[in-house]
Homo-oligomer: A and B are copies of this chain.
């Protein structure tokens, strides 16, 4: 039986997510046929493959994979009833790339929670609590878990059954994406520290870290798999870049003003880590002398408490930084929708992309 999403008619986002998760589960949970003996004989402790499977299969938005599949449909993929499996595998492999990024990011950020669950290094630290140095041991295991995610991402891609032409076109794009991901992490690391007023730098981080990586590249990858031409690919970027920026700007607001119970993210983490967001850069640029003093005192302080966080939030409101970011989100959402109107996409895929944009713009702070 072919899944609902694959038949003609509306593309249901939940169905597409289901397809992706099923492919991931099939790939991650069946023991690798290639290194079975050693894996089984690691002895004691949990199989790293199984740990990775639990991590990856935890509930998530699957933004990248979803956009990749939609890019494939948008460019006419599946019209001949063929190639769905390769498209789903390509899409699902992006979730493994994402896991790699999250796991290593969380170590660098000393981020203890994400999606309402502890970061991998924290989970390992708890599991290793009887060892001499559980934190170090947990961190080291998380480095390896992230490595494994990237290695298995490759494996999933290499075994997707692409044609030679598809490999020749797709693999360089995947490599570019990965280079950008790692470079984005460097940028993030470089921009940590005392709050700066460099809105341009913060915007560049947004573009690289989310717009490109999480939205534009996946959408274009899917379209390329379907054999998209230049016009379709340009339309992908015209839709994806503003949407991706809206997405990240919204995340920045959620990370600072959101209710952890709703967002699943520890609030004030961005303030504690001093991450260079557009929100913060705007506030620093517009701050009065006393506001600037307050920001320098509290932002980037790992021990920031609720009162300090509230004071920083007041400055973000008083300088109008929050309002400006809200306006930036709206402008980008509208730009994405306008791009969709002009895009030469298959209509039901364009409809689905419209829903993705609406979801992104409407997510509660």
Give the B-binding residues of A (Cβ under 8 A). 32, 34-35, 38-39, 41-45, 48, 100, 104, 107-108, 110, 131-132, 136-137, 140-141, 143-144, 146-148, 150-152, 154-155, 158-159, 164, 167, 171-172, 174-176, 178-183, 185-187, 189-190, 193, 201, 204, 208
Known: A43-B201, A108-B140, A167-B164. Is A32-B179 also a contact (CB below 8 A)? yes
Contact partner, A147, options B41, B43, B104, Cβ 8 Å:
B104
A136 partner residues in chain B, CB cutoff 8 A: 110
Cβ contact within 8 Å between A35 and B155: no
Residue of chain B at shortest CB distance from A175 = B155
Known: A35-B179, A38-B204, A182-B151. Is A172-B144 also a contact (CB below 8 A)? no
Contact partner, A34, options B131, B151, B172, B187, Cβ 8 Å:
B172
Cβ contact within 8 Å between B107 and A143: yes
Cβ contact within 8 Å between B158 and A172: yes
How near does chain B come to A212, taking the closest CB pair, in angstroms?
9
How near does chain B come to A120, taking the closest CB pair, in angstroms?
13
Residue of chain B at shortest CB distance from A181 = B151
Among A44, A154, A159, A164, residue most surrounded by chain B Cβ atoms (within 10 Å): A154
A108 partner residues in chain B, CB cutoff 8 A: 140, 143-144
Please state the number of chain copies in the assembly.
Answer: 2
Cβ contact within 8 Å between B143 and A183: no
A208 partner residues in chain B, CB cutoff 8 A: 38
Cβ contact within 8 Å between A179 and B155: yes
How near does chain B come to A54, taking the closest CB pair, in angstroms?
16
Residue of chain B at shortest CB distance from A154 = B175
Cβ contact within 8 Å between B141 and A158: no
Residue of chain B at shortest CB distance from A132 = B193
Contact partner, A183, options B48, B146, B154, B175, Cβ 8 Å:
B48
Known: A140-B107, A167-B164. Is A178-B190 also a contact (CB below 8 A)? no
Bound complex: CA of A179 vs CA of B201, how far in Å? 37
Cβ contact within 8 Å between B34 and A183: no
Cβ contacts A to B, 25 pairs, < 8 Å: A34-B172, A34-B175, A34-B176, A34-B179, A35-B176, A38-B183, A41-B204, A43-B201, A100-B147, A104-B143, A104-B144, A107-B140, A110-B136, A143-B143, A144-B185, A144-B189, A147-B185, A151-B178, A154-B154, A154-B174, A155-B178, A155-B179, A159-B172, A159-B175, A167-B167
